[in-house]
Structure 1
Amino acid sequence: MTTFHIPTQSNFIEAEGTRYAYRTFGREEGVPLVLFVHFRGTMENWDPALLAPLAEVRPVIVFDNKGIGETDGETPTTITEMAQDAVTFIRALGLEQVDVLGFSIGGMVAQEVALQEKTLIRKMVLAGTAPEAGVNPSQEVFERMNRHGGTEQDGINDFMFFFYGDTETSRAAGMASLKRIFAQKRFDSSDQVKEAQLQAIAKWAQPKPKTHYEWLRTIEHPVLVTNGVKDVMAPTENSYLLTEKIPNAQLIVYPDAGHGHLFQFPELFAAHVNLFLDSDAI
């Protein structure tokens, strides 16, 4: 296990009336890798066991988008607006080109950024996510996502249900990851973030007649799509759709894993991401 230091203090930058919080670390040279986090997550929800091997070989940037964590403002209710805010933040840093890793709702935002700002992204990783009008999760998932109140243990149980499989090996790796995240976690997202992101996901999931996902063919960037073999949050069928329709996409499916595959196999996932980002093959 690498011991690369992950910073715990945030930097701030003002852009278009919003004060964005972010942390940057890793190598100074190379194309920066910007991470877009999952539903209700802040930049402290990334597993440090995943961040460290990424930072060993490239600059890494984690940030709180508008209204989340340490960033002020109000979280918008559409993926399009979230993508616009992400672009505003990246441009404010003076970056002309970045790589992007988008997880869950972060992968939806990443797709929108690729469509809005084609030259800003060099390569993109889409982990445990879905295209617009993709395959929806079960009613049980929606109900648990919308649940209010409950104990801390209820929250942990929901997280394990959403992110990991029902095997002992998957759940044990998930709990180990959760402990690493809890050890660094200081800021939570608000109820406003939850409600806004739920609205955005619901709009993104609405069926679009006769689209056949052809709009995905306009994403010309090299893309790595990843998922667990059984993702209940963003059903794994969506990963096959993304890979089939995006012209320069490739797919990795992790065994005995679900939505949280990148945290279940942090070092292996990081190795795959590093190989993809460093390769000239596509």
Structure 2
Amino acid sequence: MSTFTIPTESSYIEAEGVRFAYRKFGQEAGIPLVFFIHFRGTMENWDPIMIGALAENRPIILFDNAGVGESSGETPPTIAEMAKDAASFIKALGLEKVDILGFSIGGMVAQELALQQPNMVRRIVLAGTSPRSGVSERREGVYEAMTESSGNDARENFLFLFYGPTETSRAAGIASLKRILGQKKVESSSQVTEAQFKAVSEWAQREPEQKYDWLQKITQPVLVTNGVEDIMVATKNSYILTVNLPNAQLIIYPDSGHGHLFQYPEQFAGDVNRFLDAE
């Protein structure tokens, strides 16, 4: 298990009128790995075991995109604008080349960033996410659980959305949630929730004869991951990404769902490290 201590104090940098909050840590040398968090999430919502295991091998950059968490501004209502904000942040840091890891809505932003800034992005990890106009197979109650942020049901909503119904998956989810809640608490505003939901809804709109030719433009090596049954972003989307991206590989984790990377934090980190270190 990683013993790396993740810093709790944020740094700030101005870019295009936004004061971005971020943390850069881990190894000094190497291509930085920039993280894009899930719906309504902030820097505090990554599992520290997974982040720590990755930080032992490379520079890590966590950040709150425009309007999210400790960053200023407003969250835009489209994935394209979120990617543009992320590019402004990365450029402000003086970075010419980065690896990116996007989880859920963060994976959508990562795809769009690779399209907008192909020379900036070296390798891509897409966890629990979908292409534009992907497949929707959401169960009943998913929308309500996604938009309910407080109250006695908050923990159960999280477990329902991120993990499988088995005792093993739920136990791993509870353990991860305790680790996440042990970090600094920073909430996202209702503006973030509304804007991100609009962005995801626009991204999900399907054409009568949907094709994924645009994915051919993402030529970087891509690692696609998911749980065997993701009820938030249907696992079928991970297959669609892998089939249509020209240089992609897929890992499906057993007995897990959307939160597979938190359920298997060390295994996931090991898989990501091997992928990023490959020639």
TM-score range, shorter chain: over 0.9
Deviates more, 1:37-46 or 1:153-162: 153-162
Q: Distance in 2 between matches of 1:102 and 1:239?
A: 13
1:227 alignment partner AA:
N
Name the SS for the 2:141 alignment partner.
helix
CA contact (8 A) 2:228 2:235 kept: yes
Q: Distance in 2 between matches of 1:31 and 1:190?
A: 32
Query: Residue 24 of structure 1: CA displacement?
Result: 0.7
Equivalences for residues 1-282 of structure 1 within 5 A = 1-138=1-138, 139-147=140-148, 151=151, 153-280=152-279
CA contact (8 A) 2:8 2:184 kept: no
Residues 76-116 of structure 1, C-alpha deviations (whole Å, 9 max, x = no match): 00000000000000000000000000000000000000000
Query: Residue 65 of structure 1: CA displacement?
Result: 0.3
Q: Between the two proteins, what is the percent identity of the paired residues? A: 62
Name the SS for the 2:25 alignment partner.
strand
Query: Residue 259 of structure 1: CA displacement?
Result: 0.2
Provide TM-score, normalisation by structure 1.
0.97
1:143 alignment partner AA:
E
Q: Distance in 2 between matches of 1:204 and 1:257?
A: 25
Name the SS for the 2:206 alignment partner.
coil
Q: Distance in 2 between matches of 1:209 and 1:98?
A: 36
CA contact (8 A) 1:45 1:185 kept: no
Q: Let me know the Cα RMSD of the aligned residues.
A: 1.0
Deviates more, 1:61-70 or 1:183-192: 183-192
Query: Residue 150 of structure 1: CA displacement?
Result: 5.2
1:258 alignment partner AA:
G
Q: Distance in 1 between matches of 2:150 and 2:125?
A: 34
Query: Residue 185 of structure 1: CA displacement?
Result: 2.9
Name the SS for the 1:200 alignment partner.
helix
Name the SS for the 2:188 alignment partner.
coil
CA contact (8 A) 1:220 1:246 kept: yes
Q: Distance in 1 between matches of 2:141 and 2:185?
A: 29
Residues 48-90 of structure 1, C-alpha deviations (whole Å, 9 max, x = no match): 0001110001000000000010001110000000000000000
Name the SS for the 1:181 alignment partner.
helix
Q: Distance in 1 between matches of 2:90 and 2:133?
A: 27
Q: Distance in 1 between matches of 2:166 and 2:145?
A: 20
Distance change >3 Å, CA 150–CA 95, structure 1 → 2: closer
Query: Residue 180 of structure 1: CA displacement?
Result: 0.3
Q: Distance in 1 between matches of 2:137 and 2:113?
A: 24
2:105 alignment partner AA:
I
Name the SS for the 1:171 alignment partner.
helix
Where structure 1 has 5 or more consecutive residues not aligned to the other structure, the ranges are none
Q: Distance in 1 between matches of 2:160 and 2:190?
A: 21
Q: Distance in 1 between matches of 2:187 and 2:116?
A: 29
Query: Residue 171 of structure 1: CA displacement?
Result: 0.4
Name the SS for the 1:41 alignment partner.
coil
Query: Residue 156 of structure 1: CA displacement?
Result: 1.0
Where structure 2 has 5 or more consecutive residues not aligned to the other structure, the ranges are none
Query: Residue 127 of structure 1: CA displacement?
Result: 0.2
Name the SS for the 1:126 alignment partner.
strand
